[in-house]
Amino acid sequence: MIIDHPLLGPRDAAEFVYLGDACLIDRPDPGDENAARLFHDYLHIRDNPAGEHRELWFHEHGDRSWLVVTRNTLTHEIVRVELARDVALARGRDR
């Protein structure tokens, strides 16, 4: 597979390490009264879609960026690659 890195251009996926669903960015609030349930779902429960999947890849043998890759799990076609940090900031994660 080839991941078109937003900063570096196309690079072999072998340079990357895969983590999983990009929902892992949305770590729940540990102070929430339902924190136990929220963390359970956050860490374990997956949509596991057959189709577009937003997922986290780490450019371990590269620029050490975490990327959010939108890839079709039926065809492996990649339609979007973003820096995970930008995604996280856009989703309201900060400090």
Partner 1 sequence: MRYSVLQILKEGLTGNRGWKPVWREPDPKQHYDIVIVGGGGHGMATAYYLASVHGLTDIAVLEKGWIGCGNVGRNTTIIRSNYLLPGNEPFYELSMKLWEGLEQDINYNAMVSQRGLINLFHTDPQRDAAVRRGNAMLLAGAGAVLLDREALRRKCPFLDFDNERFPIKGGLWQPRGGTVRHDAVVWGYARGADRRGVDVIQNCEVTGFDIRNGVCRGVETTRGAIGANKVAVCVAGSSGQVMGLAGLRLPIESHVLQACVTEGLKPAIPGVITFGAGHFYVSQSDKGGLVFGGDIDGYNTYAQRGNLPTVEDVCEGGMALMPMIGRARVLRMWGGVVDMSMDGSPFIDRTPVEGLFFSGGWCYGGFKAVPAGGYCLAHLMATGAPHRVAEAMRLDRFMTGAVIDEKGMGAQANLH
Partner 2 sequence: MSGAFRLDGGAIERDRTLAFRFDGQRLTGHPGDTLASALLANGVRLVARSFKYHRPRGVFSAGSEEPNALVELRSGANREPNTRATVAELFDGLEATSQNYLGSLRHDLLAVNDLLAPFLSAGFYYKTFMWPRSFWERVYEPAIRASAGLGRLSGEADPDSYDKGFLHCDLLIVGAGPAGLAAALEAGRSGARIILADEDFLMGGRLNAESHEVSGRPGAAWAADAVRELASMDKVRLMPRTTVIGAYDHGVYGALERRTDHLAAARGKPRQILWRLYTKRAILCAGATERPIAFGGNDRPGIMLAGAVRTYANRFAVGTGRRIGVFTNNDDGWRTAGDLSAKGVPIAAVIDVRDVDPATAVADARIRMNSRVAGTWGRHGLRGITLATGERIELDCLAVAGGWNPNVHLTCHHGGKPVWRDAIASFVPGDRLPGGMSVAGAAAGGFTTAGALADGHRAAVAALGELGLAVATGEPPVASDEATEAAPFWHVRESRGRAWLDLQNDVTVKDVEQAHREGFRSVELLKRYTTLGMATDQGRTANVLALAIMAGLTGRTIQETGTTAFRAPYTPVPIAAFAGRSRGKDFRPTRLTPSHDWAEGRGAVFVDAGMWLRAQWFPQTGETHWRQSVDREVTGTRGSVGICDVTTLGKIDIQGRDAAEFLNRIYANGFAKLAVGKVRYGLMLREDGIAYDDGTTARLGEHHFVMTTTTANAVLVFRNMEFARQCLWPGLDVHLISVTEQWAQYAVAGPNSRRLLAKVVDPEHDISNEAFPFMACAEVSVCGGTPARLFRISFSGELAYEIAVAARYGEALMEALMAAGEEFDAVAYGTEALGVMRIEKGHAAGNELNGQTTARMLGLQRMVSKRKDCIGNVLSERPEMNRDDGMELVGFKPLSSGDELTAGAHLLALNAPADTASDEGWISSVAYSPTLETSIGLGFVRQGHTRIGETLRAWDALQRSDVRVEIVSPHFHDPDGKLLRA
Partner 3 sequence: MPDRQLMARAALDGHERTIGTVAVAEVTDLALVSAAVPRGSDEAFAAALARGFGAARPATGDSTVGDRCAARVLGMQPDQVFILFVPPDPDRPAETVSATLESAAYVTDQSDSWAMLRMTGAGVRTALERICPLDLDDRVFPQDRVARTAMEHLSVIVLRDGADSFLLMSPRSSARSFRHAVELSVEHVSE
Instruction: Give the residues lining the site for partner 2 (CB under 8 A).
Output: 1-2, 10, 12, 17, 19, 24-25, 27-28, 30-31, 35-36, 39-40, 43, 56, 58, 60, 64-66, 75-78, 83-85, 87-89, 93-95
- The set of long-range contacts for 60-68, using a CB threshold of 8 Å and a minimum separation of 24, is 60/15, 60/16, 60/17, 61/14, 61/15, 61/16, 62/5, 62/8, 62/11, 62/15, 62/16, 63/5, 63/7, 63/8, 65/5, 65/7, 66/19, 67/3, 67/5, 67/6, 67/16, 68/22, 68/25
The site partner of 89 among partner 2, partner 1, partner 3, none (C-beta below 5 to 8 Å per kind) is partner 2
Q: How far is the CB of 79 from partner 1 (least distance, A)?
A: 15
Q: How far is the CB of 73 from partner 1 (least distance, A)?
A: 5
Q: How far is the CB of 89 from partner 2 (least distance, A)?
A: 5
